[in-house]
Amino acid sequence: MKIVAIEEHFLSPDVRASWAASSAGQDDSGSLHLGEMETRLEELSEARISRMDESGVDMQVLSLTSPGLHNLEPAEGVSLARRTNDLIAATVAGRPDRFDGFATIPASAPGEAAAELERCVRELGMKGGMLFGRTQDKNLDHLDFLPIFETAAHLRVPLFIHPQTPSRAVREAYYSGFSPEVDLAFATFGLGWHYDCGIQFLRLALAGVFDRFPDLQIILGHWGEVVLFYTERLKAFSRIAKLERSVVDTMRENLYVTPSGMFSQSNFHHAVEIVGVDRVLFSADYPYQYRPGGGPKHFIEQLPIGQDEKEKIAHGNWDRLTHAIRR
């Protein structure tokens, strides 16, 4: 059974240097990328492939790690996005049997970002784009970003919305008051990342972005970034917002979810109940959730579902989604 993992990260020295030099709203989550994690993020070679083999993962869809280029100044972001995407393309060309790619999107320059997404899809063969929630102080539903969503919908490529650390004001209000280490963990992988990301998806729905672009497909990791667990509330919310479709219907027609290395059968069953097995993809969140022992393969093999459904999650749903891309 072929396993395609679609939320698998890297970090180039080029991007790391730009983060370090930038004062444009960078957060301190870079401390999560140090030591052994730094080495694994930068590896785009046989060392990465050997861990894929050990995990049972046949292909990784590579993407720049959080917070991407969202907080860089526009000109720098555009230039760095092109270099980063060319690096992804070169890596894929070297091992097309093991790697694929999501486009790095310079969201602070939306028009150029849309053009870069199109270049990546049509010239470099990428399978979608990676977003990181808000860009500086603008949420994803801001009108500035419509060209990105319009381009993705036209090309029929998915956009993965990955968590980013909440804004400084939100962190201070909700995720502070403990030690620096606990504050950071609370605001990131502990909870803050996931609420922040789920809110971005809901804002797109409430702003009518999916009504405007019905072919737009979004991917959320971590079993839907919290929002799948509030469907009853969201049904009532949808009536108040007077949407053409309810948020829950939008989830079932415009959303795919992945585990992001959270190999929980209870979360899997809940996701299937809400969006259906045809909208569950697979991701291991390498290198952050990597552990020796073949966890990704074991998780899929041990799911209490039929072999056909396992194949869908392992690669079939991804194959179907990306087969629809307009080159």
In words, the CATH class of domain 4-323 is alpha beta
pLDDT at residue 26 in the model: 56
pLDDT band at 32 (very low <50, low <70, confident <90, very high): low
pLDDT of 24 > 70? The answer is: no
User: Per residue in 228-258, pLDDT tens?
Assistant: 999 988 888 888 888 889 999 999 999 999 9
Pairing of strands 59-64, 99-101: parallel
pLDDT at residue 28 in the model: 66
User: Per residue in 279-288, pLDDT tens?
Assistant: 999 999 999 9
Q: Examine residue 180 and say whether the peptide bond preceding it is cis (omega within 30 degrees of 0).
A: no
Q: In percent, how much of the chain has pLDDT > 70?
A: 97
Q: What is the mean pLDDT of the chain?
A: 95
Give the mean model confidence (pLDDT) for residues 69-92: 97
Give the mean model confidence (pLDDT) for residues 183-211: 96
Least confident of 20-24, 38-42, 138-142: 20-24
Give the mean model confidence (pLDDT) for residues 123-140: 97
pLDDT of 25 > 50? The answer is: no
CA distance 183 to 116: 36
pLDDT of 33 > 80? The answer is: no
pLDDT band at 176 (very low <50, low <70, confident <90, very high): very high
Least confident of 19-28, 62-71, 82-91, 215-224: 19-28
Beta-bridge partner residues of 4: 59
Reference 209, options 168, 170, 151, 259; nearest CA is 151
More confident residue, 20 or 284: 284
Place of tokens 């990791």: 221
**SS3 call for 296:** helix
CA distance 209 to 62: 26
**SS3 call for 130:** strand
**SS3 call for 218:** strand
Domain ranges of the chain: 4-323
Q: In percent, how much of the chain has pLDDT > 90?
A: 90
pLDDT at residue 31 in the model: 62
CA distance 140 to 110: 11
CA distance 222 to 163: 10
Give the mean model confidence (pLDDT) for residues 27-32: 65
CA distance 66 to 104: 11
Least confident of 5-9, 18-22, 208-212, 264-268: 18-22
